[in-house]
Structure 1
Amino acid sequence: MRMVEKSYKKFTSDYSFTDETYVIVGSGIGGLSTAVFLAKAGKKVVILEQHYTPGGFTHTFKRRNGFTWDVGVHYVGNMARDSQLRKIFNYLSDKELEWDALGDPYDVAYINGKKFEFVSGRENFRQKFHSYFPKDTIAIDDYLDLLDRSSKSNLLFFVQKVFPFVLRNTVGHIFRKLHKKWSQKTTYDILSSLTNNQELIAVLCAQCGNYGLSPKKSSFAAHAIVINHFMEGGYYPRGGANRIHETISKHLKTLGVDILINAKVNKIITAGTSVRGLVINDKEFTCKRVISNTGIHTTFLHLLDQKVLQKKHQILKSLKPSTSHLCLYIGLDKSDEYLQLPRHNIWWYAHKDTDEILNDKESLSKDQLSFAYISFPSAKDSTWGSKQQHRATIQLISNARYENFEIFENEPWLNRGEEYDQIKENFKKKGIALLKELYPQLENHIVHAEVSTPVTTRTFSNYKKGEIYGLSHTPERFNTHVLRPKTHIKGLYLTGQDITLVGLCGAMSSGILTASTIIKWDMSKQFKTIMTNY
């Protein structure tokens, strides 16, 4: 899946950092966003990326036959031209990042053969679901009301993460207590209090793959944030997901920020409870300010000396990583228009017991898929047709358990053995069978098909269990006080989706929190500029 970007500098052993340099470890959107805000405030920033191109899960990859697929960003919500989120991304990309609306429906759920459309706009959503479930209109209205109420509490919960000690233990304590009403109940707990219609619950949870946890395990607070995020529809980066990191990286270059590739951080060096340096590519370098965008588990349990951890960090060992997945990448020899492929995403479930499906330990060995998320990246991108007139792409994602792939984690990439290859081949056959069931016109037009697994994700993201969403979005996650930008180690900060929430916009929001912790009131100046000029 290699796509070389020649314009990025490689890290060399003679590189040095000043005492004032903020060294960001990891170039995912959390790190890139943090860098923009810091650089705009006049701070010296350097970003280190272990791979050959920055961007984290905003990567895309190509094959020689011209096919391109995204690996993490399949769609984003709240990107209407006048939205605050759109303005922030305009600021980060210097107005170069553009978006295509998916239109309506933007998501379609198939549950036990029945079709349900998700349309943009709260009132449109209400009317659509009233038509699907006319006996449950009160439950649907109550659900929408709870989404609003939970989201207001969520905002206060995340804001208190940047409070100084005194405020954190007074006002912040109140915010956290109010938030527990939503965060400490599962999605199923809340929905089953509104209705006993299991089909309605299944449909309302059909998009749960966006946060990677089934209804009986996920925190309702996480569910509410993600569902509200897409309430006004879905959007896709014009030109592909890679345009996100390309435009932001280009902007960072004009701000004097170095993005250095092939820079694997092996260790964060501390003296007492202060940062003193980094081990990069097995060599020590002195620096005093580090912002880790590598995930909470990697930072505290792998990069730091365990002696510097405090008792409260022990809870991290009990917090599980999020879900892992299998992905089928399909290349077609005809255009999306010719094949009549949609722009919307598909959430396909064999039946209405979402928890049984997503937590099935035997799913890998079964003859048919019971769950799939299907995306059409070429159909979503308005620029695709001008580049590939007779090509189209599809991605099909299904749930996986890392335990089934652990034995292959130390095997070399592209050469993990016959057993591993057979697992991929079996998944490929099941995925293609489902695609042809939904779209019979694909017959004889599939010219490329390959599969990635949780150990592929581990190789490219350095997430130890092949997870894609950092920490699992359980109620326990929201009780963890160490998931904030500022750590107890002087000079060490955190950014990324673990301190906020899943996804592109969750990780971007972490950049706002981390930068706010460091540059404080300068952030208010920047936000005034964003809201006024972008």
Structure 2
Amino acid sequence: MVIAIIYLHKFCNPGLGVGLVQISSPTNGVLLILCMVPELINLPQHLKKIISGFTTNKVPEHLDAIVIGSGIGGLGVASILAKTGKRVLVLEQHDQAGGCCHTFTEKGFEFDVGIHYIGELQEYKPFRHLVDQITDGQLQWASLDNPYDMVVLGSPENRREYPIYSGRKRFTEELKKHFPEEKEAIDKFVALVKKVAKGVSFMAVLKMIPMPLAKFLICSGLLRLFSPFYKMASRSLTDVVSELTSNKELQAVFSYIFGTYGVIPKDASFSLHSLLVSHYLEGAWYPKGGASEIAYHIIPTIEKAGGAVLVRAPVQSILVNEAKEAYGVTVRKGQEEVHIHAPIVISDAGLFNTYESLLPKEMQSLPAIQSQLSMVKHGEAGFSVFIGLNGTKEELGLTATNYWIYPENNLDELVENYLNSSKEDAVKLAPVVYIASPSAKDPTCEERNPGKSMLSLITFTRYEWFEDWKDERVNNRGEEYKNLKESFVKNLVDAAIEIFPRIKGKIELVEAGTPVTNQYYIAAPRGEIYGCDHNRSRFNPETSAAIRSQTPVKNLFLTGQDVFLCGFAGALAGALTCGSAVLGRNLHLDLLRLKIRLKTTNSKKNS
């Protein structure tokens, strides 16, 4: 018998796990063995870096810390610690590092899954300095078009488009062209947004000062007195914009970006909304080379200090000793459990996963842990559609502008009706559709994918609509699941064709991810995109102070968006807060000092 061994690599097809071995039945005396083993393939260095599979011999000795999860919160804090000489091991359950910063490729089309646009990346901004620090300045960014967002209200027969421009002056000027009778309301809105957003620094303060002092600031009223952010945190977005204007259309335009944190305006904190509007006010950017460049440029910093980032390493539990101190983790490797020890354990797996799944049962019941869990709830689940197109962005009319589509301007009512409907009715009601083209945003995409373009579409769904299939095998969940998914897909694709009519007839590939897809690939407990729900109660000062990087379990820390805020910037702020707790120093202040030092140095050079 002839044995033919064929090594395959299907890098990002979610259906086939890397490492899978398929053996065919002998045919004509030939036994075919198909091995998905990326380490044995001559892969580009870029891919090797982010898909290094877990084996015990790759675990560094004398670890200083273990990080569970390789989202930007996990990679960020690992890089920060590595900068101080710490040897850190990052463990990722998926088959590539990056969490929501990863990309996947199918039939020659490359898609981002969570990085769509990022603000505050001007060279003088502290956030830019942080990103440059954790990537050693190697990550490059491309500006989106201006307008960077387009708000679309109404049905196709009665569509109204409102471009959102970057630059505070341009932002207000363009809105006033569409709402000439609302100039005062627009000015007040922008001024209030800027004022409230500046007060977010007090969130970092609350999470790092001793708890008795935090309680004193809250109970005495001093916090709300000195922080506009916490003064407005309990006010809903709907209430505030209604006070500014009675124009329903302008209220919707003021509120449109609620989709970036997943809470409808009447339940959303105006303070959080102010942060998001302010975050993009001076522009929006996208990583050159795609979202996977983020992990690719962070990992060398971790490795340089003797650490490692290993994938296909599902952490089963956090090891806790009799003194209630975390001292390592267990990783499932085939049918075995591997114990890895370190004096510090950091979780980027999210509050619910960490407290309800990874900790031993006796630790889960601790009053302090139950108290934190009672303060938050799961966020809404997401539904994504990825469209592969034949043609360049010029041929298809695609631009580096994000589209936010709403059937009407009554946003609260639209979303509430949708989320309270049955899954059969929900497929007809999509109250918000986000559409963007990663290929149009990335100037290097044409080099990697000549003649091809991509669109990403996102809306919200209820986890309960797909929950019945959570335990079924990926890509084998049955006809009912497939039909439900395709019903959502059809309506979302139709919405994309309405915006970009030239893509009709050019669609080669359509893939979709449901809440149970998110549950499987990014370990989101209920398919949520933004972790813990970002409703108003999340921004109570008491909640902000209680949910911090330090946990009730000694040597166990939290990082990422559940610590601070959602999204790339919010998760990195969580990493900075976590690094501060681990190292015992205020890294937020260090970042501000770095900004001042660099600004002074540049001024001297220019003079």
- How high is the TM-score relative to the length of structure 2? 0.83
1:454-501 Cα offsets, whole Å, 9 max, x none, are 110110111110001001111111232431111222101110001110
Find the partner of 2:204 among 158, 172, 178. Answer: 158
1:506-517 to 2 correspondence within 5 Å? 506-517=570-581
1:54 paired residue number: 97
The 5-angstrom pairing of residues 350-499 of structure 1 reads: 350-359=407-416, 360=418, 361-362=420-421, 364=423, 365=425, 366-367=427-428, 369-479=430-540, 480=543, 481-499=545-563
Structure 2 residue runs of 5 or longer lacking an equivalent are 1-11, 15-37, 39-46, 600-607
1:2 aligns with 2:59: no
Distance in 2 between residues matched to 1:253 and 1:104, nearest whole Å: 38
Residue 344 (structure 1) aligns with: 401
Q: Deviations over 1:186-205 (max 9, x none)?
A: 11122122222221111111
> What secondary structure is seen at the aligned counterpart in 1 of 2:104?
strand
More off after superposition, 18-27 vs 249-258: 18-27
Q: How far apart, CA to CA, are the structure 2 residues paired with 1:134 and 1:280?
A: 61
Give the conservation status (yes or no) of the 8 Å contact 1:108–1:346: yes
Q: CA deviation at 1:56?
A: 0.6
**Change in 2 beyond 3 A, CA 1:321/1:443:** same
The CA distance in 1 between the partners of 2:180 and 2:230, in whole Å, is: 32
Distance in 2, Cα, partners of 1:84 & 1:529: 8
Percentage of identical aligned residues: 32
1:333 to 387, 390, 398: 390
Deviation at 1:14, TM superposition (A): 6.4
Alpha-carbon distance change, 418 to 180 in structure 1, aligned in 2, over 3 angstroms:
same
CA shift, 1:176, in A, is 6.3
How big is the shift at 1:274? 1.5
Aligned residues: 533
- The corresponding residue for 1:118 is 164
* Residue 295 (str. 1) matches residue 350 (str. 2): yes
Q: Displacement of 1:26 after TM fit? A: 0.8
Residue 392 of structure 1 and its aligned partner are, at CA, apart by: 0.5
For 1:162-177, what aligned pairs fall within 5 Å after superposition?
A: 162-171=208-217, 174-175=222-223
- Aligned amino acid, residue 421 of structure 2: E
Q: 1:58 to 1:492 in 2, by over 3 A?
A: same
In the TM superposition, residue 416 of structure 1 has moved relative to its aligned partner by 0.5
Quote the residue 1:269 is aligned against: 319
SS in 2 for 1:444: coil
Is 1:184 the equivalent of 2:195? no
Q: Which residue of 2 aligns with 1:141?
A: 187
Deviations 1:318-371 (A, max 9, x none): 622112121111111111111121110000000011112223133753436442
- Partner of 2:562: helix, strand, or coil? helix
Corresponding residue of 2:67:
24
Query: Is the contact made by 1:290 and 1:492 (CA closer than 8 Å) also made in structure 2?
Result: yes
Which 10-residue stretch deviates more, 194-203 or 223-232?
Answer: 194-203
8 Å Cα contact 2:240/2:270 also seen in 1:
yes
Cα shift at 1:276? 3.3
1:313 paired residue number: 369
Q: Secondary structure at the match of 1:248?
A: helix
How far apart, CA to CA, are the structure 2 residues paired with 1:82 and 1:525? 15
Equivalent residues of 1:497, 1:503 under 8 A apart:
yes
After superposing the two structures, state which structure 1 stretch, 207-216 or 247-256, moved more. Answer: 247-256
Helix, strand or coil for the counterpart of 1:498?
A: coil
- Output the CA distance in 1 between the equivalents of 2:505 and 2:13: 28
Aligned equivalents of 1:52, 1:389: Cα separation in 2: 26
Structure 2 counterpart SS, 1:76 = coil
Contact 2:153 2:406 in 1 (8 A): yes
Check if 1:76 corresponds to 2:100: no
Distance 1:341 1:406, change over 3 A: same
- Change in CA separation of 1:301 and 1:317 when aligned onto 2, cut-off 3 Å: farther
Task: Supply the AA of the counterpart residue of 1:362.
Answer: S
What SS does the corresponding residue of 1:10 show, helix, strand or coil? coil
- Alignment counterpart, residue 220 of structure 1, candidates 254, 260, 270: 270
TM-score, normalised by the number of residues in structure 1? 0.94
SS in 1 for 2:309: strand
Q: Who is 1:246 aligned against?
A: 296
Aligned equivalents of 2:484 and 2:233: distance in 1? Answer: 37
Report if the CA contact (8 A) 1:409-1:455 is conserved: yes
Q: Could you tell me whether the CA contact under 8 Å between 1:277 and 1:288 is conserved in 2?
A: yes
Report if aligned partners of 2:403, 2:435 keep a CA contact under 8 Å in 1: yes
| Aligned residue number for residue 196 of structure 1 | 246
Q: Report the CA distance between 1:239 and its aligned residue.
A: 0.6
Question: Which structure: larger Rg?
Answer: 2
Matched with 2:29 is none
- Aligned AA for 2:327? R
Partner of 1:37: 80
Using the alignment, how far apart are the partners of 1:60 and 1:46 within structure 2? 22
Distance 1:533 1:137 in 2: 38
CA RMSD of aligned residues (A): 2.3
Gapped regions of structure 1 (runs ≥ 5): none
Partner residue of 1:92 out of 118, 125, 134: 134
Contact 2:59 2:308 (8 Å CA) reproduced? no
Contact 1:51 1:460 in 2 (8 A): yes
Measured in 1, the distance between the counterparts of 2:207 and 2:529 equals 23
**Native 8 Å contact 1:500 1:509 kept in 2:** yes
**Cα displacement (A) at 1:160:** 2.5
Shift in CA distance, 530/91, structure 1 to aligned 2, threshold 3 Å: farther
In structure 2, relative to structure 1, the CA distance for the partners of 1:432 and 1:363 (3 Å cut) is farther
Does the 8 A contact of 1:31 with 1:293 survive in 2? yes
